[in-house]
């Protein structure tokens, strides 16, 4: 999807809740009663809301499993709000320089890191709840640390599961500035 597009800029936008139909390019799994777009007063922006079971209610890009995103920038950022007491997960399909496809499954359900040569379950115990935050994932570091010796080539698929509010998803070429204050709280952004 993005393989033949210019990715040399500072960022590549994958998802934005703005516009008439923000989920048009995404495969939406779940009924309209549990996945919808709404205006969030705190961030003064439209957001995508995913509620209910994280097993059945999710959004996936690309729509078709045979397609590939081909995103090459190092950092993946999800502008996200996870409610208190709710579980959240995201699944990333990556390809390394040996053209081996691997899955990173990041979830608040996992208590410890576990991995096989093709699959990793990564706990998200550090994610802030009941506050908007930028969840930033260093795809190069995750790939080399979890899959010893593997070198990140591209992000080829992403699945975001309930429960969360989602404002944007994008990749960055350079490490983003830390926006947390001294207490570790992120301030809402206005962009």
**Domain residue ranges of the chain, discontinuous segments joined by +:** 15-172
**pLDDT tier at 38, thresholds 50, 70, 90:** very high
Rounded alpha-carbon distances, angstroms, from residue 163 to 12, 41, 73, 75: 25, 19, 26, 23
Mean pLDDT of 142-164: 96
Residue written as token pair 């969030």 = 40
Instruction: Measure the CA–CA gap between 29 and 66, rounded to whole angstroms.
Output: 17
The total number of residues shown for the chain amounts to 191
Whole-angstrom CA distances from 117 to 46, 129, 144, 147, 153 are 39, 31, 12, 6, 16
Cis? peptide before 48, omega within 30° of 0: no
Long-range CB pairs of 106-113, under 8 A, 24+ apart, other chains included? 106/137, 107/54, 108/82, 109/54, 113/146
Q: What mean pLDDT do residues 65-88 have? A: 95
Give the C-alpha separation, 60 to 157, whole Å: 8
Q: Among the listed ranges 2-16, 70-84, 118-132, 151-165, which one has the minimum average pLDDT value?
A: 2-16
What's the pLDDT score for residue 190?
41
CATH code linked to domain 15-172: 2.60.120
For 140-150, write each residue's pLDDT tens digit: 999 999 999 89
pLDDT higher than threshold 50 for residue 159: yes
pTM for this one? 0.91
For residues 112-117, give the mean pLDDT. 96
Do residues 92 and 104 make contact, with C-beta atoms less than 8 angstroms apart? yes
Mean pLDDT of the chain: 91
């Amino acid at each position: 999807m993005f393989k033949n597009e210019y990715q040399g800029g500072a960022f590549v936008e994958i998802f934005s809740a703005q516009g008439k139909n923000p989920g048009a390019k995404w495969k939406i799994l779940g009924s309209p009663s549990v996945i919808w777009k709404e205006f969030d007063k705190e961030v003064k922006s439209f957001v995508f809301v995913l509620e209910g079971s994280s097993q059945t209610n999710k959004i996936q890009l690309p729509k078709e499993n045979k397609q590939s995103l081909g995103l090459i920038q190092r950092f993946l950022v999800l502008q996200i709000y996870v409610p208190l007491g709710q579980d959240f997960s995201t699944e990333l399909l990556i390809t390394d320089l040996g053209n081996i496809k691997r899955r990173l499954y990041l979830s608040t359900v996992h208590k410890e890191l576990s991995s096989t040569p093709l699959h990793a379950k990564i706990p998200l115990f550090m994610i802030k709840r009941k506050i908007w935050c930028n969840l930033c994932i260093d795809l190069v570091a995750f790939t080399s640390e979890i899959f010893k010796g593997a070198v990140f080539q591209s992000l080829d698929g992403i699945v975001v599961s309930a429960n969360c509010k989602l404002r944007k998803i994008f990749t960055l070429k350079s490490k983003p500035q830390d926006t947390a204050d001294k207490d570790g709280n992120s301030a809402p952004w206005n962009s």
